[in-house]
A and B are shown apart, each in its own frame.
Chain A
Amino acid sequence: MKISRIIVAAAFAATMFSCTKENLLETQKVHLTFNVANEPSASKAVLNGSAVEFQASDRIGVWDGTSMNCFETTAGGAHASFSGTAASAATYILVSPFSANCSVNGSVVTYSIPDIQVATPGSADPAALVSMAKVSGTSGQAVLYNCVGLVKVEVPDGLTVKEIHVGGGVGSTVGICGSFTFNTNDQTVNYVDAGSMRTSITLVPQAGQSVIAPGTYYIAVRPWTYGGLTLAYVNADNQLCKRTTTNSVEVARNHIRPVGTLNTANFNAVTGSAVLRYYDQSDNNQFTALIKTLANGSTTTATTTDNVIKKIVFRAHTLPYKTNGTNIHNGPLSSVPIRAWVDGDTAYIYTEAPVITLHSTSGNLFRDFAALEEVSFNDVNTLAGASFEYMFRNCTKLKSVDFGNADFSKVTNFSYMFYTGASVLEYVDLGETATTAATTMQSMFNNNQYLKYLNLGPNFTLAATHTNMFLDAARQTSIAAQGDNDKKCQLYASQAFYTDVRANETTFNAARFNFHAQ
């Protein structure tokens, strides 16, 4: 018998996302199935010393053989009471936190150890601190077993740490996170697929912070005896500072392995350049063709339409994502490799160098990725005299381009950069780059009719040539907004640029934008 919750269908979504005790205790009998993966993360279970403590509003999942039900506590601490409803069953499986991305098959639970974890002082990221229990429906005791091992890192006073990375093996060649199974009968952990495991984890600052403050941090990792380990941090100069050991390192389930204090003496900074191979449609080993080849499993040319890749992620100053990445840097100009992987519909391009440098011939770089929706960088610059002409040619599903903290001050040609054909582009972020070398921005945003967010930054200046730069840009967004500034395209730029473009570029229609001076 399914005992439940609440509500009529119209109220379903609200209940899913609020999951309050009041909702849970209502007693109308309507069958609902909860999709755990879609629940927002709200659990705050944290470490206190070596023990896990629950916090107020923490939620655990209760699997009753059919569905995962949300149980919530109103008060945390040493004693926490969780309330909720579930179907009657002989046994239940408890999963903490409720938001853990998991599925259940009998007594075995599939869960994830994330590759991006948020630095939590004195604790691990609550989302990664997964524990589970199998409990009888008729007896009264249960133990929630921890499903991860922890690496303990100290950040000292006086050291700027933007991120912390930990990699399995000396060259980050051993799986350290990904999808795993936990057997609630015997507490064994196994990987789901060796090839799908990622080989590094990044600990990032909390939202709104740019550095990880001094203190003690824990990183949840795959329980394993690693044949070596890599620990690294990103310093104030965006350099990845690494320390490795070839010693065997056991990080057992439910164990903490201290790895010491970050410092400048034992961690070597990765310096040098990492230049992406330039665009050449006759070269099947350059970026555009090679990503398509990796996605499709057979040699593909740069001008062949790709229908696989939806997202491309560039990350500098980071450990390898997986083993056996394809080298994609320009050999003569690079001293640090850039490696590429395609995982499902996403391409990852990683380098340990401080920045990814785009070649001066970067026009058409993303051409004919017909399924591509999103491109994101963290640190990117260019060689001198770079051309971005038609960079996203025929990317007709492209919605978002985030260049992070780009430096495009050496780019000379921005013409038709975001001209994608049947454009649905909504979001463009150029960071805070200067554009002092630019000679042309002709048709740069031509036909981007659905633009909703355009950040040009405080240092963006208008090039001498800018014909049709904003032709039809944000036109459809403006029509839909019906005069509502909040629904127009939000434009972030300097007052000087805004004044200049209004006075000198006839295709810039100020009425289509809600301008924010920077």
Chain B
Amino acid sequence: MNKIIRMEYETPEATTIDILSGLSEICVSAASVESFIEDDELEW
């Protein structure tokens, strides 16, 4: 059930912060979001 969501930041060179160009890029190439885990139904 662990469906992974990728967040691929648009970084041409991908992995470093390019200070010289004046463009700061978050150097995360991919990130996932936790998938919720469904527990048993509440017993009233």
Among residues 45 to 104 in chain A, which have CB atoms less than 8 Å away from a CB atom of chain B? 47-54, 60, 62, 71, 73, 78-88, 92, 94, 96
B6: which A residues are within 8 A, CB to CB? 78-80
Q: Is the CB of A254 within 8 A of B24?
A: no
Which stretch, A137-145, A202-210, A433-441, touches the partner chain B? A137-145
Contact of A50 among B1, B5, B16 (CB under 8 A): B1
Which stretch, A241-249, A409-417, A493-501, touches the partner chain B? A241-249
Report the separation of the CA atoms of residues A132 and B10 in the bound assembly, to the nearest whole angstrom.
20
Q: What's the nearest-Cβ distance from chain A to residue B26, in Å? A: 6
Q: Is the CB of A50 within 8 A of B38?
A: yes
Report the separation of the CA atoms of residues A99 and B8 in the bound assembly, to the nearest whole angstrom.
21
Q: Is the CB of A245 within 8 A of B42?
A: yes
Q: Is the CB of B42 within 8 A of A259?
A: yes
A138: which B residues are within 8 A, CB to CB? 15-16, 27
Q: Is the CB of A140 within 8 A of B30?
A: yes
Chain A residue total in the interface (Cβ 8 A)? 60
Is chain B's interface secondary structure helix, strand, loop, or mixed overall? loop
Contact with A along B1-28 (1 / 0, CB 8 A): 1110111111000111101001110111
A131: which B residues are within 8 A, CB to CB? 33-34
B26: which A residues are within 8 A, CB to CB? 62, 71, 82, 84, 86, 92, 135, 137
Q: Is the CB of B42 within 8 A of A140?
A: no
Contact of A3 among B8, B24, B36 (CB under 8 A): B24
A88: which B residues are within 8 A, CB to CB? 17, 19, 24
Q: Is the CB of B37 within 8 A of A140?
A: no
**Given known A152-B38, A256-B37, A260-B41, contact A53–B5 (CB-CB < 8 A):** yes
Residue on B with the closest CB to A85?
B24
B30: which A residues are within 8 A, CB to CB? 140-142
A142: which B residues are within 8 A, CB to CB? 7, 28, 30-32
Cβ of A8 within 8 Å of any chain B Cβ, yes or no, is no
Cβ of A196 within 8 Å of any chain B Cβ, yes or no, is no
Q: Is the CB of B8 within 8 A of A258?
A: no
Q: Is the CB of A52 within 8 A of B35?
A: yes
B38: which A residues are within 8 A, CB to CB? 50, 152, 255-256, 258
A150: which B residues are within 8 A, CB to CB? 36
Contact with B along A367-411 (1 / 0, CB 8 A): 000000000000000000000000000000000000000000000
Q: Is the CB of B28 within 8 A of A229?
A: no
Q: Is the CB of A144 within 8 A of B31?
A: yes
Q: What's the nearest-Cβ distance from chain A to residue B24, in Å? A: 4
Contact of B7 among A81, A255, A259 (CB under 8 A): A81
Q: What's the nearest-Cβ distance from chain A to residue B40, in Å? A: 8
B19: which A residues are within 8 A, CB to CB? 1, 3, 88
Cβ of A18 within 8 Å of any chain B Cβ, yes or no, is no
Residue on A with the closest CB to B44?
A245
Contact of B28 among A3, A52, A135, A266 (CB under 8 A): A135
Q: Is the CB of A257 within 8 A of B37?
A: no
Report the separation of the CA atoms of residues A141 and B15 in the bound assembly, to the nearest whole angstrom.
11
Q: What's the nearest-Cβ distance from chain A to residue B41, in Å? A: 4
Q: Is the CB of A51 within 8 A of B33?
A: yes
Cβ of A29 within 8 Å of any chain B Cβ, yes or no, is yes
Q: Is the CB of B5 within 8 A of A137?
A: no
Q: What's the nearest-Cβ distance from chain B to residue A425, in Å? A: 47
Q: Is the CB of B31 within 8 A of A243?
A: no
**Given known A62-B26, A144-B33, A146-B36, contact A247–B8 (CB-CB < 8 A):** no
Question: Can you list 8 residue pairs at the A/B interface with Cβ under 8 Å?
Answer: A27-B23, A53-B5, A79-B5, A82-B26, A138-B15, A140-B30, A249-B42, A254-B36
Lowest 8 CB-CB distances: which A-B pairs, in order?
A: A51-B3, A3-B24, A142-B31, A140-B29, A258-B41, A256-B38, A50-B36, A144-B33
Chain A interface residues (CB < 8 Å from chain B):
1, 3, 27, 29, 47-54, 60, 62, 71, 73, 78-88, 92, 94, 96, 131, 133, 135, 137-146, 150, 152, 229, 243, 245, 247, 249-250, 252, 254-260, 266
